[in-house]
Amino acid sequence: MSHQIEALLCRFRSASQAFLVGVSIFLISGCAAPEPPQVKLEKANILPLSINPDFAFRKKTQFLNDPKTFISGGPGNESINFERRYYMWPATTQLDKDELRGNYLNFYWWNHGQPADVTVRLEYRQANLGNFVMAREKSYANVKGSTKTQFSVIGDDYLENGPITNWRALLIVDGKIVGFAQSYLWK
C-alpha cells in the first residue's frame, strides 16, 4: 500500500513539474513580443494635438555610440563600457562596427486607458542637415500598459548626416497626438 502511495506521489510531482515548466515557457514567450519594424518617413506630416492623460512618456534614455566621442584615459566607468559593448554586439569587423555606430534612443511609455492602436513617432534633426526634420515611426496594435520603444539612427544615416542634435517623440492614436516628449533644444 505505501509503495502505491509513493508511486502516486512521484507521478503527481512529475506532472506538477511538467505543468510549471509549460506555464513558464508560455509566460516567457508572451513577454518576448518582437519589436515592430522602424519605418523611415519621407515627410513628417503635421498632426492635431489632443493630449490624453492616459498616455504618457515615463522615461527616456539616449546613447551615442561613436568611438570618436569616447573619453580616453582616467578611471573607466564599467557601466558605460558595458553599454558600448551591448550596442556593438555582434560586430567583429570594422564594417560591422560602422553599421552599429550612431544614436540609440529608448522611450518608455504607457497607456493607462483602454487598449488602443498606438504609433510612436520620433522626429529629429541631425548635425549635417540643419533645420531639416527627419522622422521614424513604430506602430503597436491593441496596446495597454507599459511599453518600450527603441529608435536607432545608425550606419549610413549617422555617418552621412551626423549625430542627432534635437528630437521630439510623439504618441499618436487615431491620427492625433495624445502624448509627447522632447529634448531641451527642440523648437
Residue-wise pLDDT for 57-105, tens only, equals 999 999 999 988 888 777 778 888 899 999 999 999 999 999 999 999 9
Residue-wise pLDDT for 2-18, tens only, equals 666 666 556 656 555 55
Cell triple for residue 57?
512618456
Span between the terminal Cα atoms of the chain, in Å: 81
> Using 50, 70 and 90 to split pLDDT, how confident is the model at 29?
very low
DSSP letters of 114-138? Answer: EEEEEEEEEEEEEGGGTTPPEEEEE
User: What does each C-alpha distance from 143 to 154, 172, 182 come to in angstroms?
Assistant: 27, 12, 22
Sequence letter at residue 48: P
User: What is d(CA 56, CA 179) in angstroms, rounded to the nearest whole number?
Assistant: 6
Cell triple for residue 114?
483602454
